Chain A
Amino acid sequence: EDKVVQSPLSLVVHEGDTVTLNCSYEVTNFRSLLWYKQEKKAPTFLFMLTSSGIEKKSGRLSSILDKKELFSILNITATQTGDSAIYLCAVGRDGTASKLTFGTGTRLQVTL
């Protein structure tokens, strides 16, 4: 059975801090790993990673995948209160019509 585990479950940081969110997975025929941000409603897409060692970056957010060790990290530098959200990690497998298996998420709260 596919498994995606995120840690920590939740954390509280001060504005300006740097945070690292973790996602480990056990999936046969791995194809992709995706990060989403969920505020009050729909998860919004952040990154998709398919190759090891390549960093994807968007502003203060970046992510990297390690296919050998089966994990990914999402880094947020200089956090702002608008970064407060649940961050979801999901993994896609080959041959499954783009089905994704989601982790339970990390709830990040950024305080002033």
Chain B
Amino acid sequence: DVKVTQSSRYLVKRTGEKVFLECVQDMDHENMFWYRQDPGLGLRLIYFSYDVKMKEKGDIPEGYSVSREKKERFSLILESASTNQTSMYLCASSLLGRIITDTQYFGPGTRLTVL
């Protein structure tokens, strides 16, 4: 059973703080993703990674950075949190393979509030 865990379910931070969101998967998946989910906007991809130390920008990378030092762990960093980054953050992972392996498995999400 695929397990994706996120470090916090709820987080409250102040404007300007540096924020770290951690995601860990236990299925040896190559691909990992960070999304934010907002009402009416659906899931939007922030960054993804298809290998250790590799990262690619998604659709809305501004104000975020990521780190992938180990295969199982993918961190999202908000360098200087702003109120418009208040959102639900979802991490996901998927396998890289010859067959179609688009299925992504999601963590429980972190609801971040920036005051």
B91-108 Cβ-contact flags toward A at 8 Å (1 or 0): 000101000111111111
Complex interface residues of chain A between 11 and 67 (CB less than 8 A to chain B):
31-32, 34, 36, 41-45, 48, 50
Contacts of A34 in B (CB 8 A): 102-104
Give the total of B residues in contact with A, Cβ under 8 Å.
27
In the complex, whether A110 has a CB less than 8 A from a CB of chain B is no
The answer for the CA separation of A25 and B58 in the assembled complex, in Å, is 19
Q: Answer whether residue B43 sits at the interface, using C-beta atoms and an 8 A cutoff.
A: yes
Known: A42-B106, A88-B43. A97 touches B100 (CB 8 A): no
A98 proximity list for chain B (CB < 8 A): 31, 50, 94, 96, 101-102, 104
- A99 and B42 in contact (CB under 8 A), knowing A31-B100, A42-B107? no
Interface residue B56 (Cβ < 8 Å from any Cβ of A): yes
Interface size class of A (residues with CB under 8 A): 20 to 34
Q: Mark A96-112, 1 if CB is under 8 A from B, else 0.
A: 01111011110000000
Asked if B48 contacts A97 (CB within 8 A), the reply is yes
**A44 to B103 Cα, complex, angstroms:** 10
B5 to chain A: closest CB distance in Å? 10
Q: Which residues of A contact B31 (CB under 8 A)?
A: 97-98
A51 → chain B closest CB, angstroms: 11
Interchain CB contact (< 8 A) of B42 among A32, A48, A92, A104: A104
What is A's interface to B at a CB cutoff of 8 Å? 31-32, 34, 36, 41-45, 48, 50, 88, 90, 92, 97-100, 102-105
Taking Cβ atoms with an 8 Å cutoff, the residues of B that contact A are 4, 31, 33, 35, 40-45, 48, 50, 56, 58, 90, 94, 96, 100-109
